Structure 1
């Protein structure tokens, strides 16, 4: 099945910055694809969501994960590593969406099999545009695994 034929795309946003959460949700509301965005605010919640534990027992598996590096409890690198080591989760594309321009963070993300690394712009319009491009690529251009 082509992604264009999907009824909706489910995105897991792992982000603790309230302003970035609001902007990201607004960008997806404006997008061409029908998207459902679930938001968790730290690494522990991300893992509970992905492993369907506690209050996340009935959630559906995301089609894409947008993962910030600088999140509490478990950082984005730790969460990414666990996702990509798990046979049930490793095919979910993970986009590192972060303010970090550190060469070390970029290398570590790709070493742990991040599907892409996007630096958040401090300019609101540029940030919004980046989110729209993420949606266009992953849900209109790319073909995702089941």
Structure 2
């Protein structure tokens, strides 16, 4: 069994309710010991590249990024574009968790290198299960390259 004592997840989500459900699911499933939650795309980029309010934080990249698409300041698509274009972050698995079912969003996300695209259900229990399953797959089943 894989140890999750040093697993870090970055959750990029502007909805407080969706963030709370996701964090609860991941902690309940014991899938991470550290979940960093940022509320918009600019905060995500600052966190990942140690800029802005995170300029003094030590480098500690996440093993998984859960990314919403529709966010203020910088969209999830733009965050994904930057993550996958930079050698420091391109290997980090990114799972988009969004309410958007638009074909163009799905296509653009995969064109940019997203690892998975999940449409968030509106049901509390289903949302919790999706978050737990996504975390379990990417952290326990999938074999990621060493970064």
**TM-score normalised per structure 1:** 0.93
Separation in structure 2 between the aligned mates of residue 90 and residue 120 of structure 1, nearest angstrom: 24
2:4/2:33 contact within 8 Å kept: no
Aligned residues: 144
Structure 1: unaligned runs, 5 residues or longer: none
What do the CA deviations read for 1:57-83 (whole angstroms, capped 9, x no partner)? 325111110000001111000010011
Match of 2:17 in 1: 19
**TM-score normalised per structure 2:** 0.92
Structure 2: unaligned runs, 5 residues or longer: none
Separation in structure 2 between the aligned mates of residue 35 and residue 130 of structure 1, nearest angstrom: 19
Counterparts of 1:41-120 in structure 2, within 5 Å, are 41-56=39-54, 57-59=56-58, 60-120=60-120
2:64/2:139 contact within 8 Å kept: no
Q: CA deviation at 1:6?
A: 4.8
4+ residue segments displaced more than 2 Å: 5-8, 32-35
Q: CA deviation at 1:100?
A: 0.2
